[in-house]
């Protein structure tokens, strides 16, 4: 039975499992739940292109806590709520009492009395977990230092659209393996049966705990996970190549050291020539051209970064609908 057919047959059961659930990491979702969210995103995207209204969250409100600045996260969630018939409130950490020392416990309990869902974009992942622990409404991880599941849901959607499938494809990640995008990419790709090939400098490997979990999932899915230090080996015959900035928010003081360590891991035409002829290139943006990726690649015919950016909206709408709809 195909994955899509299985989802159709179990649609109600999957909906009930996801309704009101927190979305903190992709590792916490079942494979069929991820596929269901992707199918919902495709459906919502199709309806938007056809001009069909989707007021699934009429009268609902999403509180959005931002302790890190954002372009795609803020706009995709805010516009997504609007298109679903609801409303979003932007809550800067400077505006909340969190900025003056109010506990996460109190914040979670108060906000849950006002809104129907909470999205948070912050630093420590433990803060996301604590917020979810004390909130009676769904909490969505818009980004933490350890995980970026909302982004990777859009990445998987983009790959599915361009390749027509996920299972059996080889995803190559080149760069800093110990960051939120790399971690969530590994977790998401493993859940949907993709092979993962990662290349990163010594000392920039992914979290051992996350890697262990990814290996266990990949074994169940019949896929492979390879983490090494050779970018050429990692991109050999890859279907998808992904990279990220070399210094994320909060790592600016490490910029010089990171540039030196990661320079051999730049995604350029020479490296990409080892991938499959029809490979696609992804980057969550913002990108630093001529650092982690050359302009020739990110602005070239294999790049789908703006499809990927657009899909933040459709993937987030699917999340909001499924988690918050009555």
Q: Is 100 annotated as a binding residue?
A: no
Q: Is 285 annotated as a binding residue?
A: yes
CA distances (Å), 282 to each of 105, 151, 162, in order?
37, 11, 11
Q: Is 172 annotated as a binding residue?
A: no
Is 142 strand, coil or helix? strand
Q: Is 92 annotated as a binding residue?
A: no
CA dihedral 13, 15, 16, 19 (to 10 degrees): 160
The yes-or-no answer on residue 87 being catalytic is: no
Q: Is 303 annotated as a binding residue?
A: no
Q: Is 97 annotated as a binding residue?
A: yes
Tell me how far apart the alpha carbons of residues 108 and 150 are, in angstroms, rounded to a whole number. Answer: 20
Q: Is 70 annotated as a binding residue?
A: yes
Annotated catalytic residue, options 22, 176, 244, 272 = 244
Tell me how far apart the alpha carbons of residues 148 and 163 are, in angstroms, rounded to a whole number. Answer: 22
The yes-or-no answer on residue 312 being catalytic is: yes
Q: Is 72 annotated as a binding residue?
A: yes
Tell me how far apart the alpha carbons of residues 169 and 160 are, in angstroms, rounded to a whole number. Answer: 10
Annotated catalytic residue, options 35, 39, 83, 121 = 121
Q: Is 31 annotated as a binding residue?
A: no
Q: Is 215 annotated as a binding residue?
A: no
Annotated catalytic residue, options 147, 148, 283, 302 = 148
The secondary structure of 39-60 as a DSSP string is HHHHHHHHHHHTT----TTTT-
Annotated catalytic residue, options 116, 312, 314, 316 = 312
For 71, counting Cβ atoms within 10 Å of its Cβ (0-12 exposed, 13-18 middle, 19+ buried), the class is exposed
Q: Is 48 annotated as a binding residue?
A: no
CB-CB contact of 156 with 38 (8 Å): yes
Q: Is 200 annotated as a binding residue?
A: no
Annotated catalytic residue, options 116, 125, 147, 284 = 284
φ/ψ of residue 278, rounded to 5? -105, 30
Q: Is 151 annotated as a binding residue?
A: yes
What distance, in Å, lies between the first and last C-alpha atoms of the chain?
A: 30
The yes-or-no answer on residue 176 being catalytic is: no
The yes-or-no answer on residue 9 being catalytic is: no
Tell me how far apart the alpha carbons of residues 143 and 13 are, in angstroms, rounded to a whole number. Answer: 28
Q: Is 61 annotated as a binding residue?
A: no
Angle between helices 305-324 and 149-163 (to 10 degrees): 120
Annotated catalytic residue, options 39, 83, 151, 221 = 151
The yes-or-no answer on residue 74 being catalytic is: no
Q: Is 22 annotated as a binding residue?
A: no
The yes-or-no answer on residue 258 being catalytic is: no
Give the active site residues: 121, 148, 151, 244, 284, 312
Binding residues: 70-73, 97, 121, 148-151, 180, 244, 248-249, 284-285, 312
Binding residues for carbamoyl phosphate: 70-73, 97, 121, 148-151, 284-285, 312
Binding residues for L-ornithine: 180, 244, 248-249
């Amino acid at each position: 039975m195909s994955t899509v057919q299985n989802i159709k047959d179990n649609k109600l059961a999957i909906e009930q499992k996801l309704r009101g659930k927190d979305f903190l990491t992709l590792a916490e979702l079942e494979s069929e739940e991820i596929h269901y969210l992707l199918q919902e995103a495709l459906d919502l995207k199709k309806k938007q292109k056809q001009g069909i209204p989707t007021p699934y969250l009429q009268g609902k409100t999403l509180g959005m806590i931002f302790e890190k600045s954002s372009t795609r996260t803020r706009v995709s969630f805010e516009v997504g709520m609007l298109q679903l018939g609801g409303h979003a409130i932007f809550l800067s950490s400077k505006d909340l009492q969190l900025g003056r020392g109010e506990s996460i416990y109190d914040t979670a309990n108060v906000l849950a009395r006002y809104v129907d869902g909470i999205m948070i974009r912050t630093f420590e992942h433990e803060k996301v977990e604590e917020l979810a622990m004390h909130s009676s409404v769904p909490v969505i991880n818009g980004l933490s230092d350890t995980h970026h599941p909302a982004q990777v849901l859009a990445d998987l959607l983009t790959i599915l659209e361009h390749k027509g499938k996920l299972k059996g494809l080889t995803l190559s990640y080149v760069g800093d393996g110990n960051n939120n995008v790399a971690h969530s990419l590994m977790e998401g790709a493993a859940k949907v049966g993709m092979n993962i090939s990662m290349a990163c400098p010594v000392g920039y490997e992914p979290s051992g705990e996350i890697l262990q979990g990814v290996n266990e999932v990949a074994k169940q899915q019949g896929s492979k996970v390879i983490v090494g230090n050779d970018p050429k080996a990692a991109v050999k015959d890859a279907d998808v190549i992904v990279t990220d900035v070399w210094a994320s928010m909060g790592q600016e003081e490490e910029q010089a050291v990171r540039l030196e360590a990661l320079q051999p891991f730049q995604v350029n035409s020479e490296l990409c020539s080892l991938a499959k002829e029809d490979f696609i290139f992804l980057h969550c943006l913002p990108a630093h051209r001529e650092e982690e990726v050359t302009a020739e690649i990110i602005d070239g015919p294999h790049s789908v970064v703006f499809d990927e950016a657009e899909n933040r909206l459709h993937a987030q709408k699917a999340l909001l609908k499924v988690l918050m709809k009555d």
